Structure 1
Amino acid sequence: MSWMRGLLAVLVAGALLGGSTGCGSGGGHEQRGGVTASPVGKVLAGTDEEGRHYREVDRKDAPEVAVEVQPGARDDWQVRLTVRNFRLSPAGTPPAAVTGHGVVRLFLDGRPLIWLRTTEYRLPGELIPRGTHQLTARLHADDRTVWAVQGKPVESTADITASAAEGTANPGGTG
């Protein structure tokens, strides 16, 4: 019987020691100023114009994006994104950086427009006044850090030229 008490003591001690080493924050998920300190890439001190930190990844593993804009049939613009090494995360995805996953932030003339979880978007014509404008698609991780290569955000820009005056532009209020 004493051997059973010894075995029981060993099992309890092992469970206690194993439980304490298995608990904790797990360094890969700790927060650093609201940004996930994930084992994915390296969070840089630099930020974009919105104050979102860059998450540096190697060029060979980096996601890519291309943006194409065509006039639509109803006084709008059809935006199509092509992504490589990247998957758009569905709504409700936890705010953590996962290799090759995230969302796209569209900017019109440098102003934030909308967050996208799809590769197609209809840009209302009333947001584009007469003249030439730039639409930029920038890739973000789900924790909203900006995917970056060599300190520069992973993004693509396309020009939009509207020939008719079509109301006022206020893209900052839509996204």
Structure 2
Amino acid sequence: MERILVVGATGAGKSTLARALGGRLGLAYREMDALHYIGPGWATNDRLTEDVSGLTSGSHWVFDSLGTPEVRDLLWRRADTVIWLDYPRRIVMARVLRRSLRRTVTREALFGGNRETWRGWLRRDHPAWWAWSQHASRRREIGRRSRDTRFAPLDTLRFAHPDETAAWLASL
């Protein structure tokens, strides 16, 4: 496990696990949202593909994302391990709702200095709406990719509950 991709639904805990893995295994941790959203108004990075390509050219890293469409195959080709947080919708939704509520109330600065807002809760791209609407399709996509021979050899560790993930992490 030297090039790790942590995947799952929005709110599953990808960033938290990837950060912990990076620290425990001495791998450079890369947060996809921080690379993708680079400025006010959720401005996106025009150089995302080049940036991700450079960061994944090394031999030791952990990314916390399935990857945006433009870098998805690149990440999956260069990874040697995929950790799939395949949690039920009820777990993911509880997590994302708590996180978004906290971020909205505290006005926590996020990627590119952006913040979640009360008005944002009404948008279809708000994390809560996104997590709900994308849960099933994200699950199918990850399942399909984990079986895709284009990405072999690729070790896939699939965890169905946060307790399984925590036990595995503690065993490292």
TM-score, scaled relative to structure 1: 0.25
- Radius of gyration: which is bigger? 1
Higher strand share: 1
Higher RCO, 1 vs 2 (CA within 8 Å, ≥6 residues apart): 2
